[in-house]
């Protein structure tokens, strides 16, 4: 199967849907290819997105998709893009689920990231993820203002960037280095920073998280000791979905974060490819992804309009 489209949007999360909505109003022939695994699938209540405060992540996507489906030039296809090939300066071929091919001149990459929870080696982390284990202090911190919280030092710069927020959003914050304390300059500065702010640091390795249902009760360390708390802030390592074929295509990634590099117009370094949402930003949020998706859609459409004008 091969079909041609003006724009193909890879990913049907909020960033991709927002691009589709903009493109639907441009009356272009659009295909949104989505594998149906958004990063926030476990979340029953999302926060900070205007008009949708408290709505589930799936409700936001369902409403958006229903509204977009009123525009008949936008089509949805369930599947995973597994390769993108550049046929000519303004023509790409996308391979989906092994043997379906789609041709387009503009692509919006909105396929997000995969959070690599298993890399933490902390048992039960996935069970509490999106509930009492959070990466989103601005969305979730409000609900834990009077509770005991821990911040796991999982990424470089995590404590200096995140401890000020999580400390504000909790009655008592503890930093956990999860056995990764090295007594090097950067680790010692974490301890000093915490000490200065009255925050305890625990260096023990975490074995598992225990609790009831999705509600966290305690952290269990490998030495058998336990620590009671209500919420954990944890920033897992992640991987941009489609990283391999995007890099093969020549799409540039930021070296420090391994996210797609875009300019202020959401364009990547490859002409004809824009990116939006979690795949290109470390500050992950629904409103931010929606804004970027909308912009990426408009920029892709404008590129086509200019080409038509100059023909
Ligand atoms: C647990 C959790 C809670 C959160 N809570 C909030 C909150 O309360 N408020 C807030 O503002 N933000 C919240 N966020 C952040 C927010 O959900 C994300 O920033 C936002 O969903 C990113 O949108 P996206 O479209 O870029 O990616 P996603 O929503 O992850 O969507 C990407 C889509 O692309 C698809 N895809 C991936 N690879 C391919 C491929 N190769 N081919 C085709 N399709 C593909 C996926 O299946 C998925 O459907 C939360 C995130 C998490 C993980």
DSSP calls for 233-252: E----EEETTHHHHHHTT--
Q: Check pLDDT > 80 for residue 187.
A: no
Using the mean position of ligand 1's atoms as its centre, give its distance from the Cα of residue 203 in Å. 32
**Residue 14 Cα to ligand 1 middle (Å):** 7
- Asked if pLDDT for residue 2 goes beyond 70, the answer is no
> Among 56, 77, 285, which is best to mutate for testing ligand 1, by the most ligand atoms less than 8 A from CB?
285
> Which of 41, 77, 112 to probe ligand 1 with, by most ligand atoms within 8 A of CB?
112
pLDDT reading at 125 higher than 90: yes
Burial of residue 87, with CB atoms counted within 10 A of its CB: 0-12 exposed, 13-18 middle, 19 or more buried: exposed
Cα distances (angstroms) measured from residue 112 to each of 1, 186, 259: 26, 30, 10
> If you measure from the C-alpha of residue 11 to the centroid of ligand 1, how many angstroms do you get, rounded to a whole number?
9
Query: What ranges do the domains of the chain cover?
Result: 2-114+237-310, 117-233
Which stretches of the chain are DSSP H helices?
14-24, 57-68, 125-128, 137-140, 158-168, 185-196, 243-248, 286-310
Q: Which residue's CA is the nearest one to ligand 1's atom 17?
A: 40
- The residues lining ligand 1, judged by C-beta closer than 6 Å to any ligand atom, are 10-16, 33-40, 42-43, 46-49, 80-81, 110-112, 130, 136, 139, 241-242, 277-278, 284-287, 289
Q: Does domain 117-233 have CATH number 3.40.50.10470?
A: no
Give the per-residue pLDDT at 191: 86
Please give the CATH architecture assigned to the domain spanning 2-114+237-310: 3-Layer(bba) Sandwich (3.50)
Nearest to 155 by CA among 115, 193, 195, 183: 115
Rounded to two decimals, the pTM is 0.96
Closest residue CA from atom 52 of ligand 1: 40
Q: Tell me whether domains 2-114+237-310 and 117-233 share a fold.
A: yes
Q: Looking at the predicted structure, is the pLDDT value of residue 181 above 80?
A: no
Q: What is the mean pLDDT of residues 26-39?
A: 98
Q: What local confidence, expressed as pLDDT, does residue 1 receive?
A: 58
Q: Tell the residue nearest (CA) to atom 12 of ligand 1.
A: 285
Question: 138 - beta bridge partners?
Answer: none
Which of 55-59, 118-122, 305-309 shows the lowest per-residue confidence on average (mean pLDDT)?
Answer: 118-122
Q: How far is the CA of 230 from the centre of ligand 1 (A)?
A: 25
In the chain, what percentage of residues exceed pLDDT 90? 89
H/E segment holding residue 102: strand 100-109
Average pLDDT over residues 116-143: 94
Distances (CA, A) of 186 to 81, 148, 183: 40, 26, 8
Dist. CA 114 → ligand 1 center (Å) = 9
- For residue 37, report the distance from its CA to the centre of ligand 1, in Å: 8
Report the relative pairing of strands 273-275 and 100-109 from DSSP bridges: parallel
pLDDT tens digits for 78-93?
Answer: 999 999 999 998 899 9
Tokens of 188: 């010692």
For residue 45, give the ligand 1 atom closest to its CA: 8
């Amino acid at each position: 199967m091969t079909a041609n489209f003006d724009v193909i949007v890879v990913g049907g999360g909020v960033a991709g849907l927002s691009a589709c909505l903009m493109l639907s109003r441009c009356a272009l022939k659009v295909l949104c290819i989505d594998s149906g695994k958004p990063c926030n699938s476990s979340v029953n209540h999302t926060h900070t997105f205007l008009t949708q405060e408290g709505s589930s992540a799936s409700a936001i996507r369902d409403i958006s998709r229903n509204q977009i489906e009123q525009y008949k030039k936008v089509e949805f296809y369930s599947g995973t893009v597994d390769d993108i090939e550049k046929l000519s300066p303004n023509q790409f071929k996308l391979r989906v689920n092994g043997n379906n091919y789609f041709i387009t001149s503009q692509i919006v990459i909105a396929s997000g990231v995969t959070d690599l929870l298993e890399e933490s080696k902390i048992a039960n982390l996935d069970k509490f993820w999106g509930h009492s284990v959070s990466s989103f202090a601005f969305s979730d911190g409000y609900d834990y203002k009077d509770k005991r919280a821990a911040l796991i030092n999982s990424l470089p710069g995590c404590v200096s960037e995140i401890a000020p927020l999580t400390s504000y959003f909790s009655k008592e914050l503890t930093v956990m280095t999860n056995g990764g304390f090295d007594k090097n300059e950067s680790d010692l500065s974490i301890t000093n920073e915490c000490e200065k702010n009255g925050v305890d640091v625990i260096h023990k390795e975490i074995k598992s998280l225990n609790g009831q249902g999705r509600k966290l009760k305690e952290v269990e360390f490998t030495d058998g000791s336990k620590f009671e708390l209500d919420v954990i802030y944890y920033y897992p390592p992640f991987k941009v979905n489609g990283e391999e074929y995007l890099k093969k295509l020549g799409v540039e990634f930021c070296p420090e974060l391994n996210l797609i590099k875009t300019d202020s117009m959401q364009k990547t370094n490859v002409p004809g490819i824009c990116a939006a949402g979690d795949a290109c930003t470390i500050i992950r949020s629904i409103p931010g992804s929606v804004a970027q998706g909308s912009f990426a859609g408009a920029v892709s459409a404008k590129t086509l309009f200019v080409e038509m004008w100059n023909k």
